[in-house]
């Protein structure tokens, strides 16, 4: 048995050339984001009764009535509002201190109770289906349409735009996890150490 001593470097201490080696040693083609994207796609396709083919980004609408696919403008806005509002939006969260209820749990003199509520008049669309940002990324065409309905945009157009948005989610996520910025954050957050040449220890 023999002992080899070597100097250990943090990422910031490496030369520019060694940093590139270090970044490549950490790059693992992670696809941890895929499950979250797929879960959002599942929730959206179930909501709008869209079928998918072999790939999650291949939306099929052949089973949906042509009259519904052809809805546009204000009629489409009313259709979306009447059928999907409860899923697309949720009451805005807020909290307030009660003026009448007092808790004596920690202090003898008591203090007001904090109450949390969801508004019935103010709404938001913050990741209402799965709680992950991909909900909003894929549903963006629908939210944009509901905010500013175009008389030429049909329900079929919105489904096509959501399909494109779902595909873009995979592309953007893959680019991000392979970006220098993401890899550098991963290295620094995990305290990775390297040899002078940039090989991870």
Q: What's the pTM?
A: 0.74
Main-chain phi, psi angles of 63, to 5 degrees: -85, -10
pLDDT in tens, 35-63: 999 999 999 999 999 999 888 889 999 99
Question: How would DSSP label each residue in 136-176?
Answer: HHHHHHHHHHHHS--TT-BHHHHHHHHHHHHHHHHHHHHHH
Query: Backbone phi, then psi, for 20, in 5-degree steps?
Result: -65, -40
pLDDT for the residue numbered 105: 54
Backbone φ, ψ for residue 194 (5° rounding): -140, 160
Length of the chain measured in residues: 201
Give residue 117's pLDDT. 58
pLDDT tops 60 at residue 136: yes
Phi, psi of 200 (to 5 degrees): -70, 140
pLDDT band at 135; cut points 50, 70, 90: very high
Assigned token pair, 104? 């004596």
Q: Where are the domains of the chain?
A: 1-18+180-201, 30-89+125-177, 92-122
Say what the pLDDT of residue 41 is.
Answer: 95
Query: Average of pLDDT values for 99-127?
Result: 59
Distance CA 101, CA 124 (A): 29
The token pair that represents 109 in the structure block: 């003199």
Task: State residue 155's pLDDT score.
Answer: 97
The residue-averaged pLDDT of 164-168 equals: 95
Residue written as token pair 């929730």 = 43
First to last CA, the chain: 20
Specify the pLDDT at position 48: 95
**Cα 95 to Cα 52, 99, 104, 118, 192, distances in angstroms:** 41, 13, 20, 9, 41
Instruction: Compute how many other C-beta atoms are within 10 angstroms of the C-beta atom of residue 39.
Output: 16
Radius of gyration of the chain (CA): 25
DSSP 86-112: HHH-EEEEEEEEEEEEEE-SS-TT-EE
* Model pLDDT, residue 54: 82
Q: What pLDDT is stored for residue 116 in this prediction?
A: 67
CA atoms within 13 Å, Cβ hemisphere of 97: 6
Mean pLDDT within 187-191: 88
Q: Please say if the pLDDT value at position 104 is more than 80.
A: no
């Amino acid at each position: 048995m023999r002992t080899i001593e070597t100097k250990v470097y943090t990422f910031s201490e490496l030369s520019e050339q060694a940093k590139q080696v270090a970044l490549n040693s950490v790059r693992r083609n992670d696809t941890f984001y895929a499950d979250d994207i797929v879960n959002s796609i599942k929730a959206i396709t179930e909501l709008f009764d869209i079928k998918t083919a072999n790939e999650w980004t291949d939306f099929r609408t052949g089973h949906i009535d042509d009259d519904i696919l052809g809805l546009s403008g204000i009629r489409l806005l009313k259709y979306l509002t009447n059928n999907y509002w409860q899923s697309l939006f949720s009451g805005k969260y807020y909290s307030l201190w009660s003026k009448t209820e007092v808790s004596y749990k920690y202090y003898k003199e008591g203090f007001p109770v904090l109450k949390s509520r969801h508004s019935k008049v103010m709404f938001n669309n913050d990741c209402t289906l799965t709680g992950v940002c991909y909900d909003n990324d894929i549903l963006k065409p629908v939210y944009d349409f509901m905010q500013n309905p175009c008389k030429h945009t049909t329900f079929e157009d919105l489904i096509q735009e959501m399909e494109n948005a779902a595909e873009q989610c995979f592309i953007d996520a893959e680019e991000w996890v392979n970006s220098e910025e993401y890899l550098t954050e991963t290295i620094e957050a995990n305290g990775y150490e390297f040899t002078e040449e940039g090989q991870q220890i």
